[in-house]
């Protein structure tokens, strides 16, 4: 066959957005004449339109190899390489997202069984894959809550809201945690006028009895130089015979 006929058919199909037929015609053309840079460039654009950036980059490289001075082909190649890179990143992100969700499911299962350590580790593994994962952050908050650390739980729920401001689940969990913290603070707050740890009735329980109004006897000190007076003994009482 005539490579020029296949090439013309390829460009015609491309203009009609019939990319599979265009690619087929371009391949037929280069099979007969592998030295036509324009045909490889057309093939690259058809692959690019199908989001097959791997094949697009390969075709543009061949076009540029055949015509190194072409700025058009160089631009085509650079654009396709950027699109391929973005596509690879998105593919990797989707793969990480799938793995992260698997870790979250394992974490939830462990939390349901009461294995807080295993649950914590699974949620951390999910965050390693997706640092802003909503369910992993919520899971860590729930582990803290299950362990009685309401302050830690509130911290993770706030983190969820930073990454996902519209999360009603995180907002509800945070409100519950803050309510529990407030109640705990009220319980530990001492009653006014009563020392911490002392019951209100204990304030007056230890009140000392009123002091006696009778003045204590005070012995007078003798004046200096004066002799102490001897106390006369009392007369002996005679015993009756």
Return the HEC string of the chain: CCHHHHHHHHHHHHHCCCHHHHHHHHHHHHHHCCCCHHHHHHHHHHHHHCCCHHHHHHHHHHHHHHCCCCHHHHHHHHHHHHHHHHHHHHHHHHHHHHHHHHHHHHHHHHHHCCCHHHHHHHHHHHHHHCCCCHHHHHHHHHHHHHCCCHHHHHHHHHHHHHHCCCCHHHHHHHHHHHHHHHHHHHHHCCCCCCCCCCCCCHHHHCCCCCCCCCCCCCCCCCCCCCCCCCCCCCCCCCCCC
Burial class (CB in 10 A: 0-12, 13-18, 19+), 103: buried
How long a stretch of residues is the chain?
241
Token duo for residue 175: 């409100």
Q: What's the pLDDT at 95?
A: 96
How many Å apart are CA 103 and CA 90, to the nearest integer?
20
Q: What's the pLDDT at 233?
A: 41
Q: What's the pLDDT at 22?
A: 97
Q: What's the pLDDT at 118?
A: 97
Q: Are 133 and 100 in contact (CB under 8 A)?
A: yes
Give which of 135, 56, 136, 129 is closest to 96, Cα–Cα: 129
Asked whether the whole model's pTM tops 0.75, one would answer: no
Token duo for residue 108: 């939830």
Give which of 59, 90, 93, 95 is closest to 77, Cα–Cα: 59
Q: What's the pLDDT at 188?
A: 75
Q: What is the mean pLDDT of each run of 10 residues along the chain (241 residues)?
A: 92 97 97 96 98 97 97 97 97 96 97 97 97 96 96 96 96 95 83 49 42 41 44 42 38
Token duo for residue 15: 């203009």
Q: What's the pLDDT at 202?
A: 42
């Amino acid at each position: 066959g005539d490579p020029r006929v296949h090439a013309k058919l390829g460009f015609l199909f491309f203009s009609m957005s019939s990319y599979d037929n265009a690619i087929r015609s371009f391949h037929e053309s280069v099979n007969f004449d592998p030295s036509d840079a324009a045909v490889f460039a057309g093939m690259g654009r058809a692959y690019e339109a199908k989001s097959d950036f791997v094949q697009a980059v390969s075709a543009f490289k061949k076009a540029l190899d055949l015509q190194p001075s072409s700025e058009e082909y160089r631009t085509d190649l650079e654009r396709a390489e950027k699109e391929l890179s973005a596509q690879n990143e998105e593919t990797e992100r989707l793969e990480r997202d799938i793995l992260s969700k698997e870790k979250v499911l394992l974490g939830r299962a462990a939390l349901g069984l009461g294995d807080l350590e295993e649950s914590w580790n699974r949620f951390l593994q999910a965050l390693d894959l997706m640092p802003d994962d909503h369910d992993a952050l919520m899971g860590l908050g729930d582990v803290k809550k299950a362990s009685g650390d309401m302050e830690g739980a509130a911290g993770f729920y706030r983190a969820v809201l930073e990454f996902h401001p519209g999360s009603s689940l995180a907002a509800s969990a945070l409100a519950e945690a803050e309510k529990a913290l407030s109640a705990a603070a009220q319980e530990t707050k001492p009653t006014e006028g009563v020392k911490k740890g002392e019951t209100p009735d204990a304030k007056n329980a230890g009140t000392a009895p009123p002091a006696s109004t009778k003045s204590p006897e005070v012995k007078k000190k003798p004046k200096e130089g004066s002799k102490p007076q001897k106390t006369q003994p009392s007369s002996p009482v005679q015993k009756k015979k």
